Amino acid sequence: MNGSEPVQREYPPSPVVSAHALIFREGRVLLVKRAHPPSQGRWSVPGGAIEVGETIHDATRREVREECGIEVKVDTVIHVVDNIVPDGSGRIRFHYVVIYSLARHLSGEVHPQSDALEVRWATLDDLDMLDMHPLARETVRRAFEVANVGAPE
């Protein structure tokens, strides 16, 4: 975005701030299967590191476009969590401050892009059957409540 050095995600000198979108459509939330650590191969919501000079909303829109190929309108922040992952020796391998926002699909068809192995629309009932980080699963559950979305009729 601005030509600065890439964010040091593994063993960072300070926490990495990331922006993620909870996008609902017809009673389902958009999930991506992560292509890279942390949480590689696990289901989560689209998102990633905020770049220097980028707003939370701009980063959320960019990450959704890069991972899923769609355009969204970011509404409101609904949750912020720490995701701290130590290595076997206790050193901090990853430390993310994760900002989750509700967003609405504006245009485009969902297809996995750069950092996503797969994409899918999932119901609340699907969550227990998917391999997800516990923080991501709990945040998605919370988002279903906040967005007042239940199981499809």
Bridge-based pairing state of the strands 116-122 and 47-49: unpaired
Residue 131, helix vs strand vs coil = coil
Which residues sit opposite 98 in a β-bridge?
Answer: 18, 81
Shortest CA distance to 140 belongs to which of 28, 15, 55, 25? 28
Is pLDDT above 90 for 148? no
Q: What is the dihedral of CA 1, 40, 61, 58, to 10 degrees?
A: -50
Is pLDDT above 90 for 15? yes
CA Rg value for the chain = 15
Span 31-74, pLDDT tens digits? 999 998 778 899 999 999 999 999 999 999 999 999 999 999 99
Residue 117, helix vs strand vs coil = strand
- Quote the pLDDT of residue 95: 95
Longest Cα pair distance anywhere in the chain, in angstroms? Answer: 49
Token pair of 113 as six digits:
């892009």
Confidence band, pLDDT 50/70/90 cuts, at residue 150:
low
Span 70-126, pLDDT tens digits? 999 999 999 999 999 999 999 999 999 999 999 999 999 999 988 899 999 999 999
Is 16-145 in CATH node 1.25.40.10?
A: no
